[in-house]
Structure 1
Amino acid sequence: MSILDARKSKPLEGGASFSLANRASRALWQVAWATLAAWTPPPLFGWRTALLRLFGAQIHPTARVYGKTRVWYPPNLIMDAHALLGPGVNCYNQAPITIGAKAVVSQGAHLCAGTHDINDPNFQLIAKPIAIGAQAWVAAEAFVGPGVSIGEGAVLGARGVAFRDIEPWAVYAGNPAKKLKDRPRF
């Protein structure tokens, strides 16, 4: 499946947004990450990716995840070759988040794959996948909202806020993110 496929919204049916089994597995994950990975030094990428794989993430062996990264639910994380989640990234992946080959998500960025139905009195969760294309860069402290695709080779500048798709090989910045210019293809 291409990282830009399957972008339909998925509202979750009434009651609790997640099953008891899902909540228990996330609690176990948080304890495992805190005790086995969050404190580890940067060179231990292999250990952290192995732990993420053990909990269901699909991560290429050359992908890198820093210890201070927060992954909400490993089975919803897909990372291609040489992809990077920097320190302090919040990967809030209620829906799948896919990060393409050689894509970088810099320190403090926030990837948020969920929103709420404001027309529902219970504000029911709506999960929407995020796709970050190959060779793209989500710069420091940027925010990528639910259902957004960052095109191949695109750049979302520092503290940029993307609630709409970002064109391939283009540079965006600001809140809301606006296209500044095209980027050379590599």
Structure 2
Amino acid sequence: MKALFSRLAAALGRSRTPDPDVILRQYCTAHPTARFFPTAQIINNTMKPEDVILGAHTYVRGELMTFGHGGRVVLGDYCYVGEGARIWSALSIVIGDRVLISHNVNIFDCDTHPIDDPAARHRQFADIITTGHPRQLQLNEKPVVIEDDVLICCQCIILPGVTIGQGAVVGAGAVVTKDVPPMTLVAGNPARIIRPLNPLNPGATDT
């Protein structure tokens, strides 16, 4: 009898737990096969569901955010966003199909805070904690594009204005400050090209 009541209590507890997959769909436009895990967050400050788009079979464990004055995050089909990853947009971050983004990756298309003016920085912070993200703000926004079949390993930072070419791999901990050519491995801070990638001859380097 005790075991029966334990199972019943557990079942009731599960039924009261909000389903993030149901809740987060209110704030975005997600394909029916996309999925949000318990650690996922959508902070869509534009208040427009069409500004955060998820394609088919895309799984999110991290955070997708738009700023109050603008922003758009688009994830294609069969993408993955790992736990602790943050994708923050004040303009446009477009991610292609079959892109794997590991845990604790940060992708920004803006400075996130005013850089040159401390007073503006304080005003932004005060607005965020009192009335929400400001609707009028300049954060040096530059679009980010991540093409199909890219792998971004853990702890990377992708900075504004960057395009990462199809099939590229960004090694763990890299800080990407400029464009990455297709089918190349980059690593380091700042990221630099380590070698081209050759699916027909893995690990080979040019001689």
**Shared fold, TM over 0.5:** yes
Q: 1:114 to 1:82 in 2, by over 3 A?
A: same
Normalising to structure 2: TM-score of the pair? 0.60
**Residue of structure 1 in register with 2:152 after alignment:** 138
**Residue of structure 2 in register with 1:86 after alignment:** 82
Match status 1:153 vs 2:200: no
Cα deviation per residue 1:100-122 (whole Å; 9 max; x = unaligned)? 11111110000011027756785
Equivalent in 54, 64, 77 of residue 59 of structure 1: 54
Normalising to structure 1: TM-score of the pair? 0.67
Map residues 107-118 of structure 1 onto 2, 5 A cutoff.
Answer: 107-115=103-111
Shifted more, 119-128 versus 172-181: the winner is 119-128
Q: Cα distance, 1:55 vs. partner?
A: 2.4
SS in 1 for 2:155: coil
CA contact (8 A) 1:97 1:129 kept: yes
Where does structure 1 lack aligned partners over 5 or more consecutive residues?
1-32, 38-44
**Residue of structure 2 in register with 1:73 after alignment:** 66
Where does structure 2 lack aligned partners over 5 or more consecutive residues?
1-19, 25-32, 122-137, 201-207
Which letter maps to 2:63? R
Partners of 1:162 and 1:78 in 2: CA distance: 20
Higher relative contact order (CA 8 A, sep 6+): 1
State which structure, 1 or 2, has the greater radius of gyration over its C-alpha atoms. Answer: 2
Q: 1:125 to 1:157 in 2, by over 3 A?
A: same
Equivalent in 170, 174, 180 of residue 188 of structure 2: 174
Partners of 1:184 and 1:88 in 2: CA distance: 31
CA contact (8 A) 1:128 1:146 kept: yes
Q: Cα distance, 1:157 vs. partner?
A: 0.5
CA contact (8 A) 2:35 2:59 kept: no
SS in 1 for 2:194: strand
Aligned-pair identity in percent equals 24
Residues matched between the structures, number: 146
Partners of 2:150 and 2:110 in 1: CA distance: 21
Q: 1:180 to 1:62 in 2, by over 3 A?
A: same
Q: 1:137 to 1:85 in 2, by over 3 A?
A: same
Cα deviation per residue 1:116-161 (whole Å; 9 max; x = unaligned)? 7756785741111111111111110100000101110011100000
CA contact (8 A) 1:76 1:94 kept: yes
**Residue of structure 2 in register with 1:28 after alignment:** none
